[in-house]
Chain A
Amino acid sequence: MGLLSDPNRRRALISLLTRLNAPICVVCYMAGVAWFMGLAFEPFTLRTYMSENAMGSTMVEERFPAGERALATGREFSAHKKKVGGMPVDWLVKTMQARGLEVFTQRFSRTLPFPDENKERYLVKGTNVYGILRAPRAPRTEALVLSAPCTPGDNNNQAVGLLLGLAQYFRNQVYWAKDIIFLVNEHDLIGMQAWLEGYHHTNTTGMDWSPLQGRGGSIQAALSLELSSDVITSLDLVLEGLNGQLPNLDLANLFYAFCQKIGVLCTIQGKLQRNDWDSVSGYSHSVQTMMLMVMKQASGRPWGDHGLFLRYHIEAATIKGINSFRQYKSDTTTIGRLLEGMYRKLNNLLERLHQSYFFYLMPSLSHFVSIGYYMPAFGLLAVILLLRALDLWVQLATPPPRTEDGVADTDTLIKSAPSQMSSPGVLSVLTPLVISHLTGVEVAVEHFPVSETEAVVLTAIAIYTAGLALPHNTHRLLSGEGTEQGWKVLKLVAVLYLAVLLGCTALINFSLGFILALTLVPVAAFVTPHVPKILSAFILVILSPACTLLFSVFFFQELQEMPVSFIDGWMLFLSVISQGILDHSLYGSLVYPLIALLVYPCWLLFWNILFWK
């Protein structure tokens, strides 16, 4: 790095970067977006392959015969469900016992912070029933989980029937090395959360549950089954979990391998795989699939019952049976055989699934994009922030009147920078920082005395918009007229803050980090007090986190091929906010607090800069 040690060359480099700052930033932004869009192009991605040896080379035979009987059990279950008007606990206990399982129940109750209007629930009380199939000659150290939610109405009866059918079949096999837990959970995610908290004896969300009586050691993998029809056309794999966590890619590979072997159509994000990657429609198809995954992951909510397992380092996925109008149908026996095969291979595991990727995107079930490929897209966006910060730093370090040679320049840079930072800056920087964060806290604090969903959401939005008016007036009261130096220091701080924030977010949840970077980086790059106020304010609002969410809602609907009108979209937007708050308080999702406590205040800083004078 003689480049930086040599003052002349360093000066040249810096002047190049400052002179060409704007064009370089634009190029980086374009390159980042282009890179990201390129990820979905099939020749640029890798084929999936099984990394885990224990699951790869061993062949298993699937012999599950009793699909019809499973359906009959499902019908019996639905009849009992109707009769009881909820979870038929006694019937399930008896049925599981008859199949030779050790059966236990768990009661739980939870009062939501405000009524959940999507699912129409407020006071939730329920019972989970689970049966453990003890593996012969195994010391209860490892377990696998197969779960099926007991949903109200006519949904998912077939899943419970198949679960019980598999339990009966598995019980008669001798090869099990891990205990298998068959779980029927009530109230979908809330029941699952209660069961997992009970199993691991943690309480992260303040739920009331009765302690579990039986356990099977550390859970190695879990599958959740959703099946609402007797025959299906395809199986859909859901991977996205809480806070954008994903299970090990080998689990997806396992599912894909067995779908291929047994001949079941399989989809991801509800999208079939296409072979015409070189055509425009084929490419846009895989872009859609990948974008759906990005949107779902960015939302940070569990997209199936499996999503909550991931917190406990248990690899889990949800398998959904889909019955559409296609000709080709698979019956329950086939799905049973598929699950049998998957469980036999999971049973063969010697170690936890760890060989394959944990960070990936899937443009189709057979291709994936690993972290090494998608991170540069984010890096190109993040580098814009650093370039802007460098530019500001140089501007701050070289005050306009002093035109000396390099020696004096570096000297002043070292000497003057801190003093300039401190003298007018501290107050003018700290004040907006504190005020914007206080606003963020105000948004984040859940105003729960109001027990109406609408009220909670509208309060949040109101505080959010009120925050726009608040901070840009305050610093003038404290420190008089804002100086040129002042906003530069503030912007420098804000830009670096945003860079760190987005960097950390992208490491944990790439999709969220990337979407935020896509909208916030341009804001951070162009905002100064000298740009035209009205237009810039408009752009700033358009690119604010809340509007990003609004656009995402529309975009997501578009991707799912269910476009909505503006009014519906607005209602959806409101419900998404309320779901975000609920997810946070029920399952510990971090997206809402992240936006409210960090991203929104950071954006307020840029708003502040715009109205500096």
Chain B
Amino acid sequence: MAAHRCSYSALLLIICSLSMFIVADSQETTLTGDNHATELDNPQTATETAGQMAEQPAVEERRLWEATEVEEATPDDADTDKQDTSTPETAVPSSVPQPKDDFQEELVIRPLHSGDIYASFQFRTLWETDFMRGNKVSHYRLFPKSLGQVISKFSVRELHISFTQGYWRTMQWGQPFLPSPPGAELWVWFQDSVTDVDGTWKELTNVLSGIFCASLNFIDSTNTVQPSASFKPLGIGNVTDHSFLRYATLPREIVCTENLTPWKKLLPCGSKAGLAVLLKSEKLFHSSFHSQAVHIRPVCQDWQCKTTSWELRQTLNVVFDLHTPGQGKREWSLFKMFSRTLTEACPLASSSKIYIDITDNPQGEQFEVSPATPLLSQAMVLGDRRTFSVYDLTQQITFGTVRSLNLLIRWKSSEGDMLRPLLHGERYVAGYGLQTGEIHTLMYNNHPYRSFPVLLLDSVPWYLRLYIHTLTVASKGKDNKPSYIHYQPSKDRVRPHLLEMLVQLPPNSVTEVTVQFERALLKWTEYTPDPNHGFYVGSSVISSLVPSIVAMDTNSTREQPLFSSFFPCKEESSYFVRVYTEPLLVNLPTPDFSMPYNVICLTCTVVAVGYGSLYNLLTRSFQIDEPSPGLAKRIANIIRKMRGVPPL
């Protein structure tokens, strides 16, 4: 019915937009062609513009997305993009506002301290549209329709989902661009118009389970929590009522190709062109760490935030182990890592770049990158000023004469020692036996002189019954009183424990949070098919604003004018970090499941034979029954009674 009513306007819209796309496309191609031509003519200007980009710190971007990476180029890109497309828009007179979308892709490669290689893909789709108002969005170009429908149907404000196989080794690899816990993690902010949040959440997880081919349908009330402080919205909007937030992890979820394929299908170019060509599962899952994520949030379109748009970020982080494949020569190339080289950018992408982190390698003494690139870019990443070589895939010159790009890194030095990241966490179960235990969470602050507060979030399943009175927080052997504690006790078979704390970590210290627990005896149907494997407890989450390394640098006055460097710059003084500890594997008391048969036999026997006769023995009084006297005797007795003589 509704379709019939709207059919006319829809038809009109389709015609209008179709015509417009044709015009716009032709315009764009000519424009970009011109761009290439000019840039090819004078590469000097290109480097200059890149330099300019690097100089402008992306302030507003950083405010929104604290734990991200190189983003300084985006406002400029967006601006130029707008200028590009604004011409056709004004050229075509149209009554319907044109939904404008934009796609960017990039790959950051960072040779890690340990000698491993960290590759981080990011694909960003921006779409200036509104899923929430009454009008149904039915035309999708770059934005995946399946996710758009999810957003509008379930009134999602923000959605973050990650699938991770492996544990990020902070001690060797430093901080990741986007942290994620082992297994699956899902957290969603709903619009405040949602009335039945739990019901919507349940439906949403089931739908997402289908979209990503994952066991997200195992998310239910027993592993869902509502963190009060740890997970704030990352997009615009100032809703902070955490009753609209749901957070759940599935630490046991195993990530494999079946999860990668649907994830790749969400990309505009699929895995046909652009950086996504590299995403071959046989190589991606031959690594030390694999994490893929989808983040959806509303962001500002411009710095005045007049218009908002939806941002879909698909990220994929992989760490390749160099030690494993080749032993002698340590060299690495795109082809070796992904068994593909790059030949083109995704035609739909407005920007397509590869960044290589060369901060630790200014003079090329650690490793050597080829082909060399003149483009350099600087960015503040996780409180550190990093330098990157940039390869712009939208320019033909990048691919050189062989028409394919195969980056190559040759290592010169050997493996390094362990890092001392400013903040990292650790967790383990202490004690032995199957009755009680103790969860220890260690938080390391390795900053030499600054203390900083961290938010610790712990979600523990109900079958570990936490004794919250045994909670202790101690650093340097002294009691460390948390300034904020939010504790929600569990209910058996209904909801998990939730413990959130704001703890101040003293400089150069280890803070230990311990809490004792008792292992519950489950009902026999509640055991998993492999109960002796143990039961998982999800990672605890440590979120913090960490003083940045740049601010820590006491010699910062050397390179800067004196007037600029007395007070530490606000943007650089601290940065947001989220650290996930390892999940726990806890053994619960497990019955021998071949036992029920024996038990039934035994108990039946014991009850029938043993208990019955014992009960008899204890309660009965035994008397010997006189056999009833014969008739003659009875008559004789009557006679004797009459005679007054005692009976026989």
Interface residues of A (CB under 8 A from B): 1, 4-5, 7, 97, 100, 102, 134, 136-142, 171-174, 200-202, 214-215, 217-218, 311-313, 350-352, 354, 405-407, 410
Q: How far is the CB of B249 from chain A (nearest CB, A)?
A: 11
Once bound together, how far apart are the Cα atoms of A201 and B251, in whole Å? 24
- CB atoms of A202 and B432 under 8 A apart: yes
A-B contacts counted at CB < 8 A amount to 111
User: Which of B432, B583, B586, B622 touches A312 (beta carbons < 8 Å)?
Assistant: B432
User: Is residue B532 within 8 Å, beta carbon to beta carbon, of the partner chain?
Assistant: yes
Give 26 A-B contacts (CB < 8 Å), ordered by A residue: A1-B613, A5-B616, A97-B415, A97-B417, A102-B169, A137-B166, A139-B166, A139-B167, A139-B182, A139-B183, A140-B583, A141-B584, A171-B323, A172-B323, A174-B286, A174-B324, A201-B431, A202-B431, A214-B171, A215-B428, A218-B429, A351-B530, A352-B534, A354-B532, A354-B590, A410-B622
- CB atoms of A137 and B585 under 8 A apart: no
Q: How far is the CB of B512 from chain A (nearest CB, A)?
A: 9
User: Which of A5, A136, A351 touches B532 (beta carbons < 8 Å)?
Assistant: A351
Once bound together, how far apart are the Cα atoms of A124 and B616, in whole Å? 63
Q: How far is the CB of B434 from chain A (nearest CB, A)?
A: 8
Q: How far is the CB of A29 from chain B (nearest CB, A)?
A: 26
User: Which of B166, B430, B613 touches A136 (beta carbons < 8 Å)?
Assistant: B166
| Given A139-B167, A172-B327, residue A5 in contact with residue B533 (CB < 8 A) | no
- CB-based nearest A residue for B533: A351
Please give the number of chain B residues whose Cβ is less than 8 angstroms from any Cβ of chain A in the complex: 54
Q: How far is the CB of A247 from chain B (nearest CB, A)?
A: 15
Chain A residues lying within 8 Å of B584, measured Cβ to Cβ, are 141, 217
Chain A residues lying within 8 Å of B438, measured Cβ to Cβ, are 201
User: Is residue B536 within 8 Å, beta carbon to beta carbon, of the partner chain?
Assistant: yes
- CB atoms of B613 and A311 under 8 A apart: no
- CB-based nearest A residue for B528: A351
- CB atoms of A102 and B172 under 8 A apart: yes
- CB-based nearest A residue for B442: A211
- CB atoms of B617 and A102 under 8 A apart: no
- CB atoms of B418 and A7 under 8 A apart: no
Chain A residues lying within 8 Å of B624, measured Cβ to Cβ, are 7, 405-407
- CB-based nearest A residue for B432: A312
Chain B residues lying within 8 Å of A134, measured Cβ to Cβ, are 169, 288
- CB-based nearest A residue for B536: A141
Chain B residues lying within 8 Å of A350, measured Cβ to Cβ, are 530, 533
| Given A202-B432, A311-B432, residue A217 in contact with residue B622 (CB < 8 A) | no
Once bound together, how far apart are the Cα atoms of A283 and B53, in whole Å? 88
- CB atoms of A215 and B426 under 8 A apart: yes
A138-B166, A139-B582, A313-B434 known; 19 other A-B pairs, CB under 8 Å? A4-B613, A4-B617, A5-B616, A136-B324, A139-B583, A140-B182, A141-B582, A141-B583, A141-B585, A172-B323, A201-B428, A201-B431, A218-B429, A218-B586, A313-B433, A350-B530, A406-B624, A407-B623, A410-B622
User: Is residue B289 within 8 Å, beta carbon to beta carbon, of the partner chain?
Assistant: yes
Q: How far is the CB of B261 from chain A (nearest CB, A)?
A: 18
User: Is residue B321 within 8 Å, beta carbon to beta carbon, of the partner chain?
Assistant: yes
Interface residues of B in 555-605 (CB under 8 A from A): 582-587, 590
Once bound together, how far apart are the Cα atoms of A575 and B64, in whole Å? 72
Chain B residues lying within 8 Å of A174, measured Cβ to Cβ, are 286, 324
Interface residues of B in 299-341 (CB under 8 A from A): 321, 323-324, 327
Once bound together, how far apart are the Cα atoms of A385 and B551, in whole Å? 80
Once bound together, how far apart are the Cα atoms of A312 and B169, in whole Å? 27
Q: How far is the CB of A105 from chain B (nearest CB, A)?
A: 13
Once bound together, how far apart are the Cα atoms of A352 and B418, in whole Å? 32
User: Is residue B287 within 8 Å, beta carbon to beta carbon, of the partner chain?
Assistant: yes
Once bound together, how far apart are the Cα atoms of A399 and B526, in whole Å? 59
Once bound together, how far apart are the Cα atoms of A218 and B533, in whole Å? 10
User: Which of A140, A352, A406 touches B587 (beta carbons < 8 Å)?
Assistant: A352
| Given A140-B582, A218-B534, A218-B585, residue A201 in contact with residue B324 (CB < 8 A) | no
| Given A218-B587, A351-B533, A406-B624, residue A136 in contact with residue B288 (CB < 8 A) | yes
Chain A residues lying within 8 Å of B530, measured Cβ to Cβ, are 350-351
- CB-based nearest B residue for A7: B622
User: Which of B167, B251, B287, B430 touches A200 (beta carbons < 8 Å)?
Assistant: B430
Once bound together, how far apart are the Cα atoms of A140 and B183, in whole Å? 12
Chain B residues lying within 8 Å of A139, measured Cβ to Cβ, are 166-167, 182-183, 251, 582-583
One digit per residue, 1 when the CB lies within 8 angstroms of any chain A CB and 0 when it does not, for chain B 290-303 equals 10000000000000
Chain B residues lying within 8 Å of A218, measured Cβ to Cβ, are 429, 534, 585-587
- CB-based nearest B residue for A141: B585
User: Which of A137, A202, A352 touches B290 (beta carbons < 8 Å)?
Assistant: A137
Chain B residues lying within 8 Å of A352, measured Cβ to Cβ, are 532-534, 587
- CB-based nearest B residue for A355: B532
Chain A residues lying within 8 Å of B429, measured Cβ to Cβ, are 218
Chain A residues lying within 8 Å of B323, measured Cβ to Cβ, are 100, 171-172
Chain B residues lying within 8 Å of A142, measured Cβ to Cβ, are 585
- CB atoms of B289 and A137 under 8 A apart: yes
Interface residues of B in 417-462 (CB under 8 A from A): 417-418, 426, 428-434, 438, 440
User: Is residue B5 within 8 Å, beta carbon to beta carbon, of the partner chain?
Assistant: no
- CB atoms of A217 and B432 under 8 A apart: no
Chain B residues lying within 8 Å of A102, measured Cβ to Cβ, are 169, 171-172, 418
Q: How far is the CB of A12 from chain B (nearest CB, A)?
A: 14
Q: How far is the CB of A452 from chain B (nearest CB, A)?
A: 34
One digit per residue, 1 when the CB lies within 8 angstroms of any chain A CB and 0 when it does not, for chain B 277-293 equals 00000000111111000
Once bound together, how far apart are the Cα atoms of A134 and B170, in whole Å? 13
Once bound together, how far apart are the Cα atoms of A49 and B227, in whole Å? 51
Chain B residues lying within 8 Å of A200, measured Cβ to Cβ, are 430-432
- CB atoms of B321 and A136 under 8 A apart: yes
- CB atoms of B430 and A201 under 8 A apart: yes
Q: Which 4 A-B pairs have the closest CB atoms?
A: A139-B182, A1-B613, A201-B430, A351-B532
Q: How far is the CB of B19 from chain A (nearest CB, A)?
A: 50
Q: How far is the CB of A89 from chain B (nearest CB, A)?
A: 16
- CB-based nearest A residue for B164: A139
Once bound together, how far apart are the Cα atoms of A171 and B418, in whole Å? 17
Chain B residues lying within 8 Å of A138, measured Cβ to Cβ, are 166-167
One digit per residue, 1 when the CB lies within 8 angstroms of any chain A CB and 0 when it does not, for chain B 248-292 equals 000100000000000000000000000000000000011111100
User: Is residue B347 within 8 Å, beta carbon to beta carbon, of the partner chain?
Assistant: no
Q: How far is the CB of B443 from chain A (nearest CB, A)?
A: 14
- CB-based nearest B residue for A410: B622
Chain B residues lying within 8 Å of A311, measured Cβ to Cβ, are 432
- CB atoms of B613 and A5 under 8 A apart: yes
User: Is residue B620 within 8 Å, beta carbon to beta carbon, of the partner chain?
Assistant: yes
- CB-based nearest A residue for B590: A354
User: Is residue B612 within 8 Å, beta carbon to beta carbon, of the partner chain?
Assistant: yes
Chain A residues lying within 8 Å of B224, measured Cβ to Cβ, are none
Once bound together, how far apart are the Cα atoms of A97 and B171, in whole Å? 14
- CB-based nearest B residue for A407: B624
Once bound together, how far apart are the Cα atoms of A275 and B587, in whole Å? 42
Once bound together, how far apart are the Cα atoms of A5 and B430, in whole Å? 54
- CB-based nearest A residue for B594: A355
Of listed A4, A214, A215, A351, residue having the most chain B CB within 10 A? A351
- CB-based nearest A residue for B531: A351
Of listed B286, B438, B531, B582, residue having the most chain A CB within 10 A? B582
- CB-based nearest B residue for A8: B624
Chain B residues lying within 8 Å of A217, measured Cβ to Cβ, are 428, 582, 584-585
Chain B residues lying within 8 Å of A201, measured Cβ to Cβ, are 428, 430-431, 438, 440
| Given A4-B617, A136-B287, residue A100 in contact with residue B165 (CB < 8 A) | no
Q: How far is the CB of B318 from chain A (nearest CB, A)?
A: 10
- CB-based nearest A residue for B289: A137
User: Is residue B609 within 8 Å, beta carbon to beta carbon, of the partner chain?
Assistant: yes
Once bound together, how far apart are the Cα atoms of A442 and B286, in whole Å? 64
- CB-based nearest B residue for A103: B418
Q: How far is the CB of B436 from chain A (nearest CB, A)?
A: 11
Q: How far is the CB of B256 from chain A (nearest CB, A)?
A: 10
- CB-based nearest B residue for A3: B613
Q: How far is the CB of B540 from chain A (nearest CB, A)?
A: 13
